[in-house]
Structure 1
Amino acid sequence: MTRTGSRTTGRPTLAEVAKLSGVSPITASRALRGVSTVAPALAEKVQAAAATLGYIANPAARALASARSHSVVVLIPSLSNHLFIDTLEAIHEVMRPRGLEVLIGNYHYDAVEEENLIRNYLAYQPCGILLTGLERSEASRQMLAASGVPCVHMMELGGAELGGAGEALSVGFSQFEAGRAAARHLIARGRRRLGFIAAQLDRRVMQRAEGFRQGLAEAGLSAPELELLAPEPSSIALGGALFSQLLAQADDVDGLFFCNDDLAQGAVLQALREDIAVPGRVAMVGFNDLPASAHMVPRLTSIRTPRAAVGRAAAQALLTLLDGKRVAVSQLDLGFELMVRESS
């Protein structure tokens, strides 16, 4: 019997897949990676040959051969937030036709954990990296700058430098302006004692807080005593608890902006339990416009963020860099939309 496979591992090789399907190894590789330029019938033939042989690609060997892998790293701070799930889905939709693998790293809003992920993933020689936000440790900045790997930042705008390598490419929207829009909306509704409730106090949350404060200051309604800032992760349960706490501290509050929809949803449910009229007694505005918000009782007013559009545009910007081209706009602002509903 003729022995097939690598001499060292005994596993089927790409060359054997190519021979069985009657194509070149390069074409076989592209077909197995899902590159859209390979004809569907040919790709099906290659995939059938791979299945027959039991071939499994070796990304480490491929990276050594090309000095770069066919992987794109995406680093996000949470997998439990619907915001990032939508973003990841959009990134996959863009990367898959180019035959690029998406490696996901979740750093749980921890800069040290993100630093470790960056160090580990750079060892696999990714062809590109998508990062969430612009704030990270100095060690992370230095590693990214030294690697030369193309990077695009998501969810935030700004001219921050990447380890001194120049202006960082980013796709997102103004968190500051979103917070100010919430304040202006509540003020336009006749509310005058306006509070802000936040958790998971990362840079983007605090930018929203600054925007909200600015909106209040412009109307002469600043009220720092009506802020509750909790460092723990955002959740529906926490939203209900913080809502009750703030009303116990200041029973004259008549409008609230929440840094995330899950907090606002928890507050709406707690108001129902305590028989507090929304928006009669207190108006509420959330952030991100998560799917459940349009089905709360009352339906929740929220700032809709372009989470899928951000993922799509960031992935496309990274592909532009990988093609050796210049990205036309270094700070792509996709905006946001105030979804006015019954809660305000």
Structure 2
Amino acid sequence: MAYNKNDRRSRTKGRPTLNEVAHRAGVSPITASRALRGVATVAEELVRKVEEAARELGYIANPAARALASAHSQSVLVLVPSLANQLFIDTLEAIHSVLRPKGLEVVIGNFHYSREEEEDLLRNYLAYQPRGLLLTGFERTESSRRMIEASGLPCVYMMDLDSGSGLHCVGFSQVNAGAAAARHLLSRGRQRIAFVAAQLDQRTLLRGDGFRRTLQQAGRYDPAFEILTPRPSSVGLGSELFAQLLAAQPQIDGIFFCNDDLAQGALLEAARHGVKVPEQVAVLGFNDLPSSAFMVPRLSSIRTPREIIGRRAAEQLLDLIAGKTIAEPVQDMGFELVLREST
């Protein structure tokens, strides 16, 4: 009997091989590999046979070996600043729905709004040769930028836009979104308008810039009407900051919160102390989280296209991986003001 080194098992661990799975399923090793990676072109019946053979043999794919064989893994690295924020959960779900049917695994790194932590994640994961990168925003360390450039990997940036950089990005203008928030509160006749922000990542600061500039142009800006804190955004913090703001500036009649969870906390605090919304103070949020439509009163918010951004960014990355030229490397997905009872 001829000896085939590709069919042997580890002498110490006895792990089954892909060739054995393919042989049991009656398909070629290439078909078996594609079936196990979820490539959509493999017939359902063959996928079922391969998966059944893999279960029977106890086969576990070796991604490191696959990466060595192809010079790349079958993964895409996605770095986001939070897994506690519904915004990024929705974006990740959309990314997964695009990449998984193409046989690509989504590797998620959470850098907790820390540029240094993002740098560590890039250094660790780039060693595994991913097929491409999906990154959040443009603010990162110089070392991270050098690693991204040196990797030569296809890369798409999400959530923000930079038309002058030559980078591929899918998002919306944070500055314009902030300006839209200010215009809305001004249009409701509000005279003393505040801005409350937490976390203070670059996108939040850009929204604040657009908001502030619009109020200045209208002659309605007062720096005393701002609260900016690096603390993590939450409903509890929103409640606290709302009480703090009204205690210091009781004449406030409109507030733009940089996130919906802060605005939701403000509505709860207002109800607790009998502050009428919007009669006494209008409250506007950002991101339009699902629960905002069920607050009392229902929260007005700026809806961000997080699912669309995730889907388009993943599609653009697939084109880059395939070597295609992107006709529109900068894709503005816009935003929408959702008017409800709180303003």
For normalisation by structure 1, the TM-score amounts to 0.96
Is the contact between residue 196 and residue 226 of structure 1 (CA under 8 Å) also seen in structure 2? yes
Three-state SS of the structure 2 residue aligned to 1:157 is coil
User: 1:332 corresponds to which residue?
Assistant: 331
Structure 1 residue 322 corresponds to structure 2 residue 338: no
- The residue type paired with residue 121 of structure 2 is L
Aligned to 2:231: 232
Question: How many angstroms does 1:330 deviate by?
Answer: 1.3
Shift of 1:172: 0.4
Deviation, 1:331, is: 1.0
Report the counterpart of residue 147 of structure 1 in structure 2: 151
* Residue 46 (structure 1) aligned with residue 50 (structure 2): yes
Partners of 1:96 and 1:189 in 2: CA distance: 45
Alpha-carbon separation, structure 2, partners of 1:192 and 1:208: 20
Q: Is 2:21 aligned against 1:17?
A: yes
Q: Give the percent of matched residue pairs that are identical in Structure 1 and Structure 2.
A: 64
Q: State the alpha-carbon separation in 1 of the partners of residues 123 and 12 from structure 2.
A: 29
Q: 1:327 to 1:9 in 2, by over 3 A?
A: farther
Contact kept in structure 2, 1:173 and 1:336, CA below 8 Å: yes
State the match for 1:60 in structure 2.
64
Contact kept? 1:14, 1:29, Cα under 8 Å? yes
Which AA in structure 1 matches 2:277? V
* CA 74–64 in structure 1, closer or farther in 2 if over 3 Å, else same: same
Match of 1:26 in 2: 30
Partners of 1:134 and 1:160 within 8 A in 2: no
Distance 1:224 1:95 in 2: 45
1:245-282 Cα deviation digits (max 9, x unpaired): 11111111100000000000000000001100000000
Pairing 1:150-189 to 2, within 5 Å after superposition? 150-159=154-163, 161=165, 167-189=166-188
Deviations 1:218-268 (A, max 9, x none): 211111110000111001111111111111111111000000000000000
Which residue in the other structure is 1:164 paired with? none
Q: Distance in 1 between matches of 2:161 and 2:75?
A: 25
Q: How does 1:1-344 map to 2 (within 5 A)?
A: 5-7=9-11, 9-159=13-163, 161=165, 167-344=166-343
Please give the secondary structure, in 2, of the residue aligned with 1:32: helix
Q: Give the structure 1 partner of residue 3 of structure 2.
A: none
The 2-side partners of 1:141 and 1:133 are apart by 12
| Contact 1:92–1:102 (CA under 8 A) maintained in structure 2 | yes
SS, match of residue 109 in structure 1: coil
The amino acid that maps onto 2:205 is M
Whole-angstrom CA distance in 2 between matches of 1:327 and 1:86 = 25
Q: What is the CA deviation profile of residues 117-152 of structure 1, one whole-angstrom value per residue up to 9, with x for unaligned ones?
A: 000000111001100101100000000100111111
Task: List gaps (5 residues or longer) in structure 1.
Answer: 162-166
Q: 1:301-330: CA deviations, max 9, x gaps?
A: 000000111100000000001111012211
**Structure 2 runs not aligned, ≥5 long:** 1-6
Query: Partners of 1:139 and 1:8 in 2: how far apart?
Result: 41
Is the contact between residue 176 and residue 212 of structure 1 (CA under 8 Å) also seen in structure 2? yes
Q: Distance in 1 between matches of 2:260 and 2:195?
A: 13
SS at match of 1:225: helix
- Give SS of 2:256's match: strand
Contact 1:5 1:16 survives alignment (8 Å): no
Distance 2:131 2:10 in 1: 26
- Contact map agreement 1:239 1:262 (CA 8 A) in 2: yes
- TM-score (structure 2 length as normaliser): 0.96
Distance (Å, rounded) in 2 between the aligned partners of 1:160 and 1:113: 27
**SS at structure 2 position matched to 1:12:** coil
CA RMSD of aligned residues (A): 1.3
Task: Tell which deviates more after alignment, 8-17 or 51-60.
Answer: 8-17
Measure the CA separation in 2 of the matches of 1:143 and 1:52.
42
**For the residues of structure 1 that align with 2:214 and 2:11, how far apart are their CA atoms?**
69
2:155 and 2:93 map into 1 onto residues whose CA distance is 19
Amino acid across the alignment from 1:274: H
Give distance in 1, aligned partners of 2:9 and 2:338: 59
